[in-house]
Structure 1
Amino acid sequence: MASLCRRPGLFSAITVLLVSALIVTFGVVDIRLESGTHIGLGLPAQVPLLFAAIFTALFGFLVLKVSWIDLERGICSAVQVSIQAILILVLVGCLVGSWIHSGVVATMIYYGLDIMNPHYFYCAALLICIVVSIATGCCWTTSSTVGVALIGISAGLGLPLPVSAGFIISGAYFGDKMSPLSDTTNLAPAVSGSELFDHIRAMMWTTLPTLLIVVVISLLMGSAVREMDNSRVELIQGMMRAEFRISAWGIVPPAVILVMALLKIPAIPGIVGGLCAGLLLSLFQGASLHEALKVFFYGYEPSQLSAFAAAATPEAVNAAAAGAGTLFASVPDPAEFAKVGGLLTRLFTRGGMTSMLETICLIVVALSLGGIMEACGFLDVILEALMRRVRSVFGLIASVIASSFVANVFLSEQYLAIIVPGRMFRRAFDERSWDGRRLAPSMLSRSLEDSGTMTSVLVPWNTCGVYVSAVLGVPTLAYAPYCFLNWLNPIIALVMTWLGIAVVWRHGDQPHAAPGALPADP
């Protein structure tokens, strides 16, 4: 942290955080009461975050006498952390545009509709994303590839997209948290002083029980789904055949990314490999080089699906179908025809570098706010105050989990939500003892991931939240209640610690009291 002329007091630090939270909340929410009262401004998150950053910077400059050079250095340092994420965002925009243009996404949706039962869709989506994210070690890659396809299948089956997105994200984050290939899985033990596989073994105690609960929830919610309308599925498949070339070749680009991940090739080269495979598939199918490359920047805009969406009469339906060279078994209802056409148009109108500009802007503004708070020392003061009041194992673990969540909200980056609390609490884990025993470093690394990794995607302005929302096309606050794994995991971790279950102690430390005695908050 940069040198300060005046260290903030605890009251000042809490006040700045609360005012910043109020600015962001009032700017983002848009609530209209029956009385006619309007609460909030309903602005894009970038605007209130900018004013929260301005307020925080003014407080640091005028009250704490932090120089503008130090504030600017804090901003630049925070934004620098996200450079890799921004590069991935740009490449994913190109990847999505290329895969839609070459028919990769449509192929996965088409065949997925053939084999997927709506009663088991939520569970299948959860398990598929777990397998892919464990293999790739990256929830972002999982969300932007199979996640997009699963969202399309969900739309085709008539399932609510926020619910489907919640199970997709739950599966993607399980693998991202547990895979030894994941960056956060390696970062957390590095910060806490733990060993990688000690860290993974410790996480199993809290994450596997949570996963079992989520699997049960997915099966229960799936059992309540109504029967699938086969005529609607056939209509969707017919429309996709009119717009894209559906063939087994569409499986090749995802296979390229999966193989590169198994070979432990880093995320950026892996995405480039999948992107190039999509480009070659487009050229193989007869697209011009100009057309295949243009979607890298502008994304894909359906032509035939747009004509379907505009068809409002039986004559228009027949004309649109004939123009596409697609024959339907019967003339569909015009309203249903236009509705499905509109749904598919929205689903496939995406991708390209330009689609990620809003997300990148949000990341930069949010991290600027986090960098200013780091430069002024607000979070350090609050964390130190917490440590002075911790008197039990439960209190220590709860402090780590709460601090990681707060860091996700105010620093807007899951890496910082692991690094900052990890750096602050490591000394406590090294020095504090209970009945002559000290907690193992894997308890710190586990808690950092239970909260820092898992809750990042639940914050609308966090880099993870804005990325997943942009890729899946579902607002963060809409899917957040259904990310059962993400918000249940820290709760399960707290409950298990309270009960004294799966508390890991350092090897060689001997208890003064009876074995198994564990202080807990009353």
Structure 2
Amino acid sequence: MAPEDDPPTIPFVWALVPVVALISLLAGTIIVLEGSGHIPLVLGACVAGLVAWAHGYRWEQLQDGVLSAIGLAMGAVLILLTIGVLMGTWLAAGIVPALIAWGLELMSPSWFLPATCAVCSIVSLVSGSSWSTAGTVGLALIGVGNAMGINPAMTAGAVISGAYFGDKLSPMSDTTNLAPAMAGTDLFTHIRHMLWTTGPAWTLAMIAYAVVGAGLESTAEPGSIAAITDVIRTNFQPGLVHLVVPGIVAVMVGFRLPALPTLLTGALLGGLLAGIQGMPIQDVLASAMTGFAPDTGSAQVNELLARGGMTSMSSTVLLVLCAMSFGGIMERTGQLKTLASKTLAVATSTGSLIAATVLTSIGVNVLAADQYLAVVVPGRMYAAEYAERGLDPKNLSRALEDGGTITSPLIPWNTCGAFMSTTLGVATLAYLPWCFLNLLNPIIGIVLGFTGLSIARLDQGDPQPEPQDQP
């Protein structure tokens, strides 16, 4: 048994065993049996634990890895639960119904998708949070799209593309701060360098949404849309009062207050507004806990608005815990590092090194199920290699986000994928083809790496900065 300060090294072939097991279990359960990823992730964690135990790791070390990873995800879990409450109270207070009614009156189906992406881009750029954007504005836009008869997978893709544009570029975003810290560069240098990849990806995405949207026509009868609007107006009387709570949340975001207290304040104010408008307190609490249960007299509107509540996030929270258990064991026992380090053997050129960084970040997103680890693990691994090759660390920080941040919502069992699927009510694999920004961004990053365009090098006399410890 190796001492704790000198942990055993697990060979590459053995580190590959849990990966093969997990992919096989997930494919069989999700694709063949059409089940969820919860049990495959638990079984994958068991396989990873057995491999580590066979190579000298003790149960206490495995447990510590699991608990540390879950601890890393607890912030996300709290936001998940708060978003569930916010969805319930904002629906009960008429905030989301009012936004849906106004959206139906103002938006044309042909411009709906690019407008959705643009609105979410602005909100996420200001807030720095893709989750807050999807759970507030995104939720309303999903309702508008559903009422127009637009494929909800398309709407969800446009919401997520816009939400991750800001999540990736906003100085208030946690991953935007984490990536340069891991690489050893500064925040605004990192943001400016990301414009080379994120800017073209966003432009192409907007063009794609415009092209797709140009061929869209509302499949809902004109009378049906008018009927939905009339029912909402009759039951909720949309007015300026319904902009007060979102306005307060926007002000809090503008003052760069943390996401959790901002969302919690929005949820509490939504419940207060529902009570002021005459909803019994027990119904407000039920909406916050189990979701809004409308009785508008229209089955179509009831189905449109029946969602939200803390319990609606329970399956997602469990998925996060299962995924982090697998990722925690893989990270703590060095199996992730062993797998990723193999890429350096083939990354002989600058382009292949950047491609390896992007693909490693995507791989960690798949295996560790968390975008923070997808930034931290490759950042720690490759920082010295970039410095040794004379590459400016901002190349590394950009590649970390091009692979780690942007692809996290495309993986069903990743914390981000689970959140987006639950919040927007669309399966991850259904909206994935429509997330144009998220699909294009890694490709553009790799292409720029091979062409050398925008790749910065350290000057001969420049110091080689060291990556910072994980915050």
| TM-score, scaled relative to structure 2 | 0.94
Aligned to 2:403: 451
Aligned to 2:419: 467
Q: Secondary structure in 1 aligned to 2:162?
A: helix
Q: Deviations over 1:82-127 (max 9, x none)?
A: 1111111111111000000000000000011111011100110000
C-alpha distance in 1, partners of 2:451/2:86? 46
Aligned to 1:216: 207
User: 1:101 aligned to 2:92?
Assistant: yes
Aligned to 1:333: none
Q: Deviations over 1:8-37 (max 9, x none)?
A: 1112122331222111211111xxxxxxxx
Corresponding residue to 2:368 among 411, 425, 429: 411
Aligned to 2:142: 151
Higher relative contact order (CA 8 A, sep 6+): 2
Indicate conservation of the 8 Å contact 1:5/1:64, yes or no. no
Indicate conservation of the 8 Å contact 2:149/2:218, yes or no. no
Corresponding residue to 1:359 among 311, 316, 325: 316
Q: Secondary structure in 1 aligned to 2:116?
A: helix
Flag the 1:74–1:157 CA change in 2: closer, same or farther, 3 A: same
Flag the 1:507–1:273 CA change in 2: closer, same or farther, 3 A: farther
C-alpha distance in 2, partners of 1:508/1:446? 22
Indicate conservation of the 8 Å contact 1:57/1:372, yes or no. yes
Aligned to 2:326: 369
User: 1:382 aligned to 2:373?
Assistant: no
C-alpha deviation, 1:291, in angstroms: 2.4
Aligned to 2:23: 21
C-alpha distance in 2, partners of 1:243/1:72? 52
* Amino acid of the structure 2 residue aligned with 1:47: I
Corresponding residue to 1:247 among 239, 245, 254: 239
C-alpha deviation, 1:207, in angstroms: 0.6
C-alpha distance in 1, partners of 2:189/2:35? 45
Flag the 1:425–1:233 CA change in 2: closer, same or farther, 3 A: same
C-alpha distance in 1, partners of 2:350/2:165? 25
Q: Deviations over 1:482-507 (max 9, x none)?
A: 10100110001111111111111224
C-alpha distance in 1, partners of 2:267/2:141? 19
* Amino acid of the structure 2 residue aligned with 1:356: M
C-alpha distance in 2, partners of 1:227/1:101? 27
Aligned to 2:379: 422
Compare CA radii of gyration and give the structure with the larger one. 1
Alignment of 1:55-454 (within 5 A): 55-61=47-53, 63-226=54-217, 229-305=221-297, 308-309=298-299, 341=300, 344-431=301-388, 433=389, 438-454=390-406
Q: Deviations over 1:458-516 (max 9, x none)?
A: 00000000001111000000000110100110001111111111111224469xxxxxx
Indicate conservation of the 8 Å contact 1:28/1:48, yes or no. no
Indicate conservation of the 8 Å contact 2:134/2:423, yes or no. yes
Aligned to 2:467: none
Mark the runs of 5 or more structure 2 residues left unpaired by the alignment: 463-471
* Amino acid of the structure 1 residue aligned with 2:79: I
Flag the 1:4–1:25 CA change in 2: closer, same or farther, 3 A: farther
Aligned to 1:37: none
Q: Deviations over 1:417-467 (max 9, x none)?
A: 101111111111122x2xxxx111111110000010000000000000000
C-alpha distance in 2, partners of 1:56/1:383? 16
Q: Secondary structure in 1 aligned to 2:340?
A: helix
* Amino acid of the structure 2 residue aligned with 1:46: H
C-alpha distance in 1, partners of 2:454/2:344? 22
Q: What is the identity percentage for the equivalent residue pairs of Structure 1 and Structure 2?
A: 37
C-alpha distance in 2, partners of 1:137/1:489? 18
Farther off after superposition, 202-211 or 380-389 = 380-389
Indicate conservation of the 8 Å contact 1:188/1:445, yes or no. yes
Flag the 1:249–1:508 CA change in 2: closer, same or farther, 3 A: farther
Aligned length: 459
RMSD in angstroms over aligned alpha carbons? 1.6
C-alpha distance in 2, partners of 1:279/1:2? 50
| TM-score, scaled relative to structure 1 | 0.85
* Amino acid of the structure 2 residue aligned with 1:51: L
C-alpha deviation, 1:4, in angstroms: 6.5
C-alpha distance in 2, partners of 1:2/1:118? 60
Alignment of 1:494-513 (within 5 A): 494-508=446-460
Q: Secondary structure in 2 aligned to 1:251?
A: helix
* Amino acid of the structure 1 residue aligned with 2:382: F
C-alpha distance in 1, partners of 2:337/2:306? 44
Flag the 1:489–1:509 CA change in 2: closer, same or farther, 3 A: farther
C-alpha distance in 1, partners of 2:134/2:187? 25
C-alpha distance in 2, partners of 1:199/1:149? 32
Q: Secondary structure in 1 aligned to 2:126?
A: helix
C-alpha distance in 1, partners of 2:5/2:97? 54
Aligned to 2:468: none
Mark the runs of 5 or more structure 1 residues left unpaired by the alignment: 30-39, 310-340, 511-522
Indicate conservation of the 8 Å contact 1:394/1:494, yes or no. yes
Farther off after superposition, 245-254 or 483-492 = 245-254
C-alpha distance in 1, partners of 2:204/2:99? 28
C-alpha deviation, 1:285, in angstroms: 0.8
Indicate conservation of the 8 Å contact 2:352/2:450, yes or no. no
Indicate conservation of the 8 Å contact 1:394/1:498, yes or no. yes
Q: Secondary structure in 1 aligned to 2:412?
A: coil
Q: Secondary structure in 2 aligned to 1:82?
A: helix
Aligned to 2:469: none
Aligned to 1:513: none
* Amino acid of the structure 2 residue aligned with 1:148: L
Indicate conservation of the 8 Å contact 1:4/1:64, yes or no. no
Indicate conservation of the 8 Å contact 1:203/1:446, yes or no. yes
C-alpha distance in 2, partners of 1:86/1:5? 30
